[in-house]
């Protein structure tokens, strides 16, 4: 059984902030709509097939839906979340602009 690593304060803030705005259950095929492309439905499908997907999922007919908080926690643990400060964001955007002009 894998060791459960607790979320940092920053990660907990991310989960709380999104969970307050989202429905309690999200269908896999609607992930893009609710999470704006943060994770693709196919990524979740692949993880589920390997037994590595979010902890709570439901099969509803032929559709899969996820309990929102475990889904967000899975995103944090799998993809990582880092809060960017305003100046850091500006620096990253400037760097991206310079590299895209080449």
pTM of the model: 0.78
In a domain, 68, yes or no: yes
To which H or E segment does residue 67 belong? strand 63-67
User: How many structural domains comprise the chain?
Assistant: 1
In a domain, 65, yes or no: yes
The pLDDT tens digits of the residues spanning 17-57 come to 999 999 999 999 999 999 999 999 999 999 999 999 999 99
The pLDDT tens digits of the residues spanning 50-80 come to 999 999 999 999 999 999 999 999 999 999 9
In a domain, 3, yes or no: no
Under 8 Å between Cβ of 29 and 45: no
| Containing structural domain, residue 70 | 9-100
In a domain, 1, yes or no: no
Indicate whether 7 pLDDT > 90: no
């Amino acid at each position: 059984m894998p060791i459960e690593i607790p979320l940092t304060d920053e990660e907990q803030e991310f989960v709380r902030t999104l969970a307050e705005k989202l429905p309690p259950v999200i269908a896999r095929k609607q992930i893009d709509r609710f999470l704006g492309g943060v994770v693709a439905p196919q990524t979740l499908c692949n993880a589920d097939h390997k037994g590595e997907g979010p902890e709570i999922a439901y099969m509803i007919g032929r559709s899969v839906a996820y309990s929102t908080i475990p889904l967000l926690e899975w995103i944090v643990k799998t993809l990582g979340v880092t809060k960017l400060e305003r100046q850091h964001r500006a620096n990253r955007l400037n760097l991206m602009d310079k590299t895209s002009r080449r």
